[in-house]
Structure 1
Amino acid sequence: MTFQAPEASKRQKSRAAYAAFTQGIERLCHTDPGARAALRAGLRRDLDHPRTRPMHRLLTPRLPEGCDDKTAQAHYTVAALIAAQPRHAFSPGQADDDEDTADEHGAARKQVPQQEGEPDEDAVPPGPAPYGSSFGATLGQAVIAKGTPMRKSAAENRINLLTRQSLRGIHLHLPAAVNQVRTTGAAIDWGQLLADLVDWPHQSGRISRRWLQDFYRITAGTDQD
């Protein structure tokens, strides 16, 4: 029997839901150009802006049940950021491939007999799933990217700006930061970004610290330009 702390279980479920939301938006944007245009129009818009009205039809069924406006705004912002990517950025088959691979691994594990004396892994309480890649880590990866990296000074200015923002400010400043990162080819963990935006109203200090620590950990060996 597996025992798990309620808070850890809640975090894991939330992360899975955020990942499912962002993967669903990526698939939608790939298959429906009209939906992609409607979502892209929501950049830097609040929930009641006229330009966000077409988004309600697309996103309302995907929102957590009973979520408040701040949580909804986080989902709308991330959906708009995903939709603003170039069309070639979407790979709808990736999620299905990952699910198939996971199923295969699970089936293979069931077929392997447990050796006598080996501990039953199901009886070991797992720790909470690790956090995904923060946006600070993404900016760090943009600095060390091959080809056309982001200047370290520019990335440092950007992350210092982002981590000083209020809730409204972070939603307004993220699009420009995402555009800068996108030119370097650094990957963005949309699910983790969504989680951080949802938590920003009451955990902005912790999230900002993690973004800064991840950024400086990755760029520690690079020269300041």
Structure 2
Amino acid sequence: MSRPLDRHRRFIASLEALADRQDRGALAALRRGLGKKPGEVADLYPYVLPWLPSTASPREENAYVLVAGLFALHPHSWHPRDDEGRSNLGASFARLMASDGSPSIEKRFVALLNCHLDDLPAHLRSAVGLLKAHEIPIDWAQLLSDILGWHWDTRAVQREWARAFWGQSAAQAGAPGAGDTITDQPQSVA
């Protein structure tokens, strides 16, 4: 049996193949799924359902549909082999912060970390739009894995994203506290 991240990478490879051959119809079908309730856009299923395990839960199906739509919006992949270290969404935001430096980037990132699972699709659409505008790649397989692991009880995904964002940007800037511990306490965004 394959590991989930391997299955996610094969799914993303199938989406990358659509982008590589410039299958505009397929990518448009995937984008139409963004912001819709599960099942409302049936023409995206041929590109998603074959990659789901037969025992997939509705949450897993929704995560695959969400990532497929987000990928179709910004088909610029960051593979772990492209860079040493983390390649999660926090690392993509760290790249954005390094290239732009706007304080609003950090505020948007904190809002993303603090969002509830029900609000995650809207926050991710906004985040991916921002990364697309600055041509920052995303590790799509890792994002899919992270969406499936988004829990409020452990907040493990949120902590990993925070480590990738502040750990890299703080280390690059030589800021004190680059190795400080990140707590589970959500911070408010002013």
Q: Tell me what 2:131 maps to.
A: 181
Please say if residues 142 and 181 of structure 1, whose CA atoms lie closer than 8 Å, have aligned partners that are also in contact.
Answer: yes
Are 1:68 and 2:18 matched, yes or no? no
Please say if residues 86 and 164 of structure 2, whose CA atoms lie closer than 8 Å, have aligned partners that are also in contact.
Answer: no
Structure 1 unaligned segments of length 5 or more: list them: 1-9, 99-129
Q: 1:209 to 1:169 in 2, by over 3 A?
A: same
Are 1:38 and 2:52 matched, yes or no? no
C-alpha distance in structure 2 between counterparts of 1:30 and 1:203, whole Å: 39
Note the C-alpha offset of 1:202: 6.5
Q: 1:132 to 1:22 in 2, by over 3 A?
A: farther
Note the C-alpha offset of 1:165: 1.4
Q: Tell me what 2:8 maps to.
A: 18
Note the C-alpha offset of 1:185: 2.4
Q: 1:203 to 1:43 in 2, by over 3 A?
A: farther
* Paired residues for 1:1-225 under 5 Å: 13-31=3-21, 32-48=23-39, 50=40, 52-85=41-74, 89=76, 133-145=87-99, 149=100, 151=102, 153-201=103-151, 205-220=155-170, 221=173
TM-score (norm 1): 0.67
Percent sequence identity over aligned pairs: 26
The one-letter code matched in structure 2 to 1:163 is L
Q: 1:27 to 1:217 in 2, by over 3 A?
A: same
Structure having the higher Rg: 1
C-alpha distance in structure 2 between counterparts of 1:193 and 1:157, whole Å: 20
Please say if residues 74 and 128 of structure 2, whose CA atoms lie closer than 8 Å, have aligned partners that are also in contact.
Answer: no
Which runs of at least 4 in structure 1 moved beyond 6 Å after TM superposition? none
Please say if residues 150 and 184 of structure 1, whose CA atoms lie closer than 8 Å, have aligned partners that are also in contact.
Answer: no
Note the C-alpha offset of 1:182: 1.9
C-alpha distance in structure 1 between counterparts of 2:167 and 2:159, whole Å: 12
Once the two structures are superposed, residues 3-47 of structure 1 have per-residue CA deviations (whole angstroms, 9 ceiling, x without a partner) of xxxxxxx8x811111111111112123332111110011112231
Please say if residues 138 and 187 of structure 1, whose CA atoms lie closer than 8 Å, have aligned partners that are also in contact.
Answer: yes
Please say if residues 131 and 192 of structure 1, whose CA atoms lie closer than 8 Å, have aligned partners that are also in contact.
Answer: no
Aligned CA-pair RMSD: 2.7
TM-score (norm 2): 0.78
